[in-house]
Amino acid sequence: MKKIAVLTSGGDSPGMNAAIRAVVRKANFHGVEVMGINHGYEGFIEGRMDLLDLGSVGGIIQRGGTKLFSSRCPQFKEDKYQYQGIEKMKAAGVEGLVVIGGDGSYRGALELTKKGFPCVGVPGTIDNDIPGTEYTIGFDTALNTVIESIDKIRDTATSHENSFIVEVMGRDAGDIALWAGLAAGAESVLIPEEAYDIDEIIARIRRGEARGKKHSIIIVAEGVMSGSELAKILKEKANIITRVSVLGHIQRGGSPSARDRVLGGRLGAKAVEVLLEGRGGRAVGIKNHQVIDYDLEEAFTQKHKADLSLYTLSKELSI
């Protein structure tokens, strides 16, 4: 291959720019040009792209978001738009594509590969919900954003002896809630992967009050319910008054952590290697600290499993 392209798709995440930078630098190192496609699959369909040279990815490693913008493009699910984009790529001499995004973007990458346009997936999402890789780019930064926010909430919770419900992102995965719960010392964590017992949550709050705890922090993943719904249940069932903080999109921003910058660099470079070896239809990831690549299809046939040992530990440590 002498020319490839890269795009970012779906929910953006801190570290995507580090991955973009690595794709360009690694490809150029091997004498391969890189076109940057703007606005994800929307730009792919329209052939909206610019040449990315070494200088164009300078000064971005520390920046959140994505210099290529991103999109959610439902029409791309239709074959005719996928073929239209492939024609635009061929007309520009682009021979392969690195897709940086979440599981939805991976599905698009697989469809393109099946249509003869080789793609390699790089896991870029804060959700950490892509099967086959232990971490996704953006998860660590989002986690640190959440615990910094909870530490701030805990200050006012202590001052006013109020309990707080903190609603976090993760779409259908509980990793952000689970890891943040442990890292921030939350009293209770609700995740989609585990059925919650409201009576147990109430009993835990009461036990804490009995031993002098002045407040509780309850983290709820958005895939379970909203923070306000949980507040309503606690009020109606046990007259427990709580305040609700929905962290929302601040979890998607911020300067990427060192871990996400390094992960973005390693995985972006690996994706170029795999593509240049002529192995489309692959995803790159991290397993036991090693960079790996695996069949893109595996990212759908398997289901991401939250590490439930953290769930048990979180309950034990917050008695």
- Binding site residue list: 11, 21-25, 72-73, 102-105, 125-127, 154, 169-171, 185-187, 211, 213-215, 222, 243, 249-252
| Residues 239, 209 contacting (CB under 8 angstroms) | no
Return the closest-CA partner of residue 169 out of 186, 198, 145, 134. Answer: 145
- 127 is a catalytic site residue: yes
Q: How far apart are CA 206 and CA 211, in angstroms?
A: 9
Per the annotation, where are the binding residues for ATP? 11, 72-73, 102-105
Q: How far apart are CA 89 and CA 61, in angstroms?
A: 27
Token pair of 123 as six digits: 């896991």
CB of 161 to ligand ADP, least distance (A): 39
Closer of 103 and 175 to ligand ADP (Cβ)? 103
If binding is defined by CB under 6 A, does position 103 make contact with ligand ADP? yes
CB of 144 to ligand ADP, least distance (A): 20
Q: How far apart are CA 187 and CA 181, in angstroms?
A: 8
Alpha carbon 118 to its chain's center: 23
* Residue 9 site contact among ligand F6P, ligand ADP, none (CB < 5 to 8 Å, cut-off depends on kind): ligand ADP
Rounded to whole angstroms, what are the CA distances from 168 to 63, 148, 171, 271? 22, 13, 9, 30
| Residues 298, 179 contacting (CB under 8 angstroms) | no
CB of 301 to ligand ADP, least distance (A): 14
The helix or strand, by DSSP H or E, that contains position 4, with its residue range, turns out to be strand 3-8
| Residues 15, 264 contacting (CB under 8 angstroms) | yes
**In which residue are the tokens 């192995």 written?**
279
What SS3 class is residue 99?
strand
Using CB under 6 A, list all residues that contact ligand F6P.
Answer: 11, 72, 102, 125-127, 169-171, 222, 252
Closer of 53 and 148 to ligand F6P (Cβ)? 148
Q: How far apart are CA 129 and CA 200, in angstroms?
A: 27
If binding is defined by CB under 6 A, does position 72 make contact with ligand ADP? yes
Residue nearest to ligand F6P (CB): 11
* Residue 12 site contact among ligand F6P, ligand ADP, none (CB < 5 to 8 Å, cut-off depends on kind): none
Q: How far apart are CA 78 and CA 2, in angstroms?
A: 29
CB of 248 to ligand F6P, least distance (A): 9
Per the annotation, where are the binding residues for Mg(2+)? 103
If binding is defined by CB under 6 A, does position 115 make contact with ligand ADP? no
Closer of 11 and 208 to ligand ADP (Cβ)? 11
* Residue of 12, 50, 127, 295 with catalytic role: 127
The 137-176 contact track toward ligand ADP, x by CB under 6 A, reads: ----------------------------------------
The site for ligand ADP (CB under 6 A) is made up of: 9-11, 41, 72-74, 76-77, 101-105, 107-108, 111, 125
Q: Catalytic positions, please? A: 127
